[in-house]
């Protein structure tokens, strides 16, 4: 009997060992990128996530089609694999399977390698011939009320609260593309549309919870692709706002990161010191530089570590995937200098290697002109650093415009319009003036009309300057109507107001021309006229600039080339000014009568005067 029991225990033990060796179910939770294309320059490295996926083997079928696994890399977490995929030049597009094998059990995960659009690599991007319209989607228009709140997202819509979701979405933008095109905008930059699943204040989108998913309260990936297509039909380019610097702590990977250094870890919560001058300051300590790069923006915004090569590959592919998938025209990169600068330079170069004509504009929020210039690709930097970032946002000019136009007195040294002259006198510092985004306001700064106390005349000066200065102009939605904050003391949520008429039942609909009136209509009509005039004015897009200094709160400059001249005269003072035409003889010699760009009337410049708080724009043909 004892022998029988021993034999039974042995058999059960062997069975137990055998069962342990048998494959368990394979649960693949995520494969990113979501799909790929044949004929790409960018190498493909799949990130596969699933419980104990590290114990599995990976293959791609069918075999013999030019696509196969080249290498498999394990992460520190057993729930990830990073798989290098070799794609031959003659690889066949089509539907494939990623075969995940654990022992004798194989799970097949469908994966598509598609054909690229014709001319995808050579796609054009936004340039200084474009005028960029900045939209905060949650506050622009609600085209689909059914997705205002969804079961699979945390924050629900509550339009009564400034800091909550209001329900604007992609469909709302699509529904008003005719309005945007009529205004004269040729490119749209939306603040982030990817999933932001924070429990509150998620409407701004800058805390990404899934890099491959459009937030369902905005729509879907397919709807975003349709949105880009509809924009292109209207002659409008699409710029996607992206945030590689930080992700949300609600991202699906946060609780189980592939590597311990996937995000920057601290013993206790540590914010960035916000001092990105540490990147180029020879005197900066390494400790300050590390905190700037590695400190968090907010407790809910995990700081990503781009020094991790797998994460850097992830972001390269992610950027290329969205361009190829949705047919994008450009990127705007949030908080650019807070990323590790070496890896971000490599990231920019990777995107540009895939799309040589592509444009990427980085948010470099500084009033220091030399520090701003440092970040533009190709700039001469003493440390040899090249960001490969094509475009930068001109915050020094932004600051000067706002300060100058809010000073309506008689001017003087360093006051009024002299501020603008002084900033532009530093243009020699920049590598490429054509690739600088100029603005008087955006979604993070006070409304221009708030700064200018609702002065319609000076709002028209803003529009004229944006339409005539060097660089790529950008305007925040509603500034064409002098939108003002509902409560300036409450900051961002109240300057990011809903566009009247974007919601069913709104008392006023400013999308309807018949409902526009008073100074709002006056500013809109002027802005629309100038933006549409600028579209086909090559001298504004690529001409040179000559400006003249005066310290009486006026400012005069010319944009010129071999064929055309445009003259701009700003009188920001409280009294009428006669244009000192003879003073500009070095550029005006031989010019006849000009044409007022707004009225269309002929202008005799030698007898021309400009009213207080006004701007004159005159065009000439040589």
* Residues acting as catalytic residues: 334, 363
Closest CA to 359 of 314, 389, 323: 389
**Residue 25 Cα distances to 19, 72, 256, 590, angstroms:** 13, 20, 20, 83
209 and 251 in contact (C-beta within 8 Å)? yes
Judge contact between 496 and 164, C-beta under 8 A. Answer: no
Whole-number Å distance between alpha carbons of 224 and 230: 10
Measured distance CA(183)–CA(600) in Å, rounded:
19
d(CA 54, CA 79): 6
SS3 of 26-77: the string is CCEEEEECCCEECCCCCCEEEEEEECCHHHCEEEEECCCCCEEEEEEEECCC
CB–CB of 26/100 below 8 Å?
Answer: yes
**3-class SS of residue 313:** helix
Would you say the C-alpha torsion 215, 216, 221, 225 has a positive or negative sign?
A: negative
CB-based contact 466:475 (threshold 8 Å) = yes
Of 219, 437, 242, the C-alpha closest to 335 is 242
Alpha-carbon distance values, 402 to 198, 406, 441, 445 (Å): 33, 6, 8, 11
d(C-alpha 98, C-alpha 69), whole Å: 9
Question: 10 Å Cβ neighbour count for 453?
Answer: 10
Strand order in the sheet with 105-114: 36-37, 105-114, 94-102, 57-61
Instruction: Write the CB contacts of 603 (distance below 8 Å, at least 6 apart in sequence).
Output: 593, 594, 595, 596, 616, 618
Cα–Cα distances (Å) from 36 to 260, 320, 339, 398, in that order, read 28, 10, 26, 40
Instruction: Give the chain's radius of gyration (CA, Å).
Output: 28
Question: Measured between alpha carbons, how far is 385 from 377 in angstroms, rounded to an integer?
Answer: 9
Q: H helices then E strands: how many in the chain?
A: 16, 28
CB 510 within 8 A of CB 487: no
Instruction: Pick the closest to residue 474 from 268, 96, 189 (CA basis).
Output: 189
């Amino acid at each position: 009997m004892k022998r029988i029991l021993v034999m039974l225990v042995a058999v059960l033990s062997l069975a137990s060992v055998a069962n342990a060796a048998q494959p368990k179910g394979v649960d693949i939770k995520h494969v990113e990128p979501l799909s790929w294309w044949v004929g790409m320059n960018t190498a493909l490295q799949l990130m596969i996530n699933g419980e104990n996926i590290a114990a599995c083997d990976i293959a791609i079928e069918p075999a013999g089609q030019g696509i196969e696994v080249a290498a498999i890399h394990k992460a520190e977490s057993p729930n990830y694999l990073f798989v290098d995929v070799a794609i031959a030049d003659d690889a066949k597009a089509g539907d494939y399977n990623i075969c995940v094998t654990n022992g004798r059990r194989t799970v097949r995960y469908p994966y598509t390698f598609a054909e690229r659009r014709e001319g995808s690599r050579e796609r054009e991007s936004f340039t200084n011939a474009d005028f960029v319209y900045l939209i905060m989607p949650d506050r622009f228009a609600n085209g689909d009320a059914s997705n205002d709140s969804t079961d699979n997202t945390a924050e629900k819509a509550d339009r009564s609260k400034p800091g909550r979701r209001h329900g604007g979405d992609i469909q709302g933008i699509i529904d008003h593309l005719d309005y945007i095109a009529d205004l004269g905008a040729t490119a749209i930059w939306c603040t982030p549309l990817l999933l932001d699943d924070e429990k509150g204040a998620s409407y701004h989108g800058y805390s990404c919870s899934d890099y491959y998913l459009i937030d369902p309260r905005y729509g879907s990936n397919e709807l975003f692709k349709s949105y880009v297509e509809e924009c292109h039909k209207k002659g409008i380019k699409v710029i996607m706002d992206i945030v590689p610097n930080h992700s949300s702590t609600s991202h699906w990977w946060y609780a189980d990161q592939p590597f311990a250094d996937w995000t920057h870890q601290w013993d206790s919560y540590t914010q960035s010191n916000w001092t990105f001058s540490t990147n180029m300051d020879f005197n900066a300590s390494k400790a300050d530089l590390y905190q700037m790069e590695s400190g968090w923006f907010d407790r809910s915004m995990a700081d990503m570590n781009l020094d991790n090569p797998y994460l850097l590959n992830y972001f390269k592919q992610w950027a290329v995937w969205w361009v190829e998938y949705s047919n994008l025209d450009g990127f705007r990169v949030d908080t650019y200098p807070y990323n590790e600068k070496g890896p971000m330079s490599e990231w920019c170069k990777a995107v540009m290697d895939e799309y040589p004509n592509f444009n990427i504009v980085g948010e470099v929020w500084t009033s220091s002109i030399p520090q701003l210039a440092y970040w533009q690709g190709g700039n001469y930097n003493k440390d040899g650093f090249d960001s490969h970032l094509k475009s930068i946002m001109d915050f020094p000019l932004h600051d000067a415009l706002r300060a100058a136009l809010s000073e309506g007195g008689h001017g003087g040294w360093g006051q009024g319009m002299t501020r603008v002259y002084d900033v532009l006198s530093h243009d020699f510092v920049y590598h490429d003036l054509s690739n600088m985004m100029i603005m008087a306001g955006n979604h993070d700064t006070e409304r221009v009309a708030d700064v200018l106390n609702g002065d319609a005349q000076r709002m028209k000066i803003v529009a004229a300057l944006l339409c005539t200065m060097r660089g790529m102009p950008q305007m925040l939605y509603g500034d064409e109507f002098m939108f003002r904050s509902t409560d300036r003391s409450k900051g961002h949520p109240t300057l990011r107001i809903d566009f009247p008429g974007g919601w069913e039942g709104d008392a006023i609909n400013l999308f309807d021309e018949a409902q526009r009136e008073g100074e709002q209509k006056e500013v809109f009509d002027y802005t629309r006229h100038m933006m549409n005039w600028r579209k086909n004015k090559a001298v504004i897009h690529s001409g040179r600039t000559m400006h003249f200094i005066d310290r009486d709160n006026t400012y005069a400059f010319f944009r010129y080339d071999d064929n055309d001249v445009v003259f701009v005269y700003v009188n920001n003072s409280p009294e009428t000014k006669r244009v000192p035409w003879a003073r500009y003889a070095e550029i005006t010699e031989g010019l006849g009568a000009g044409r007022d760009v707004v009225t269309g009337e002929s202008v005799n410049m030698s007898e021309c005067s400009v009213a207080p708080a006004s701007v004159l724009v005159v065009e000439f043909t040589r």
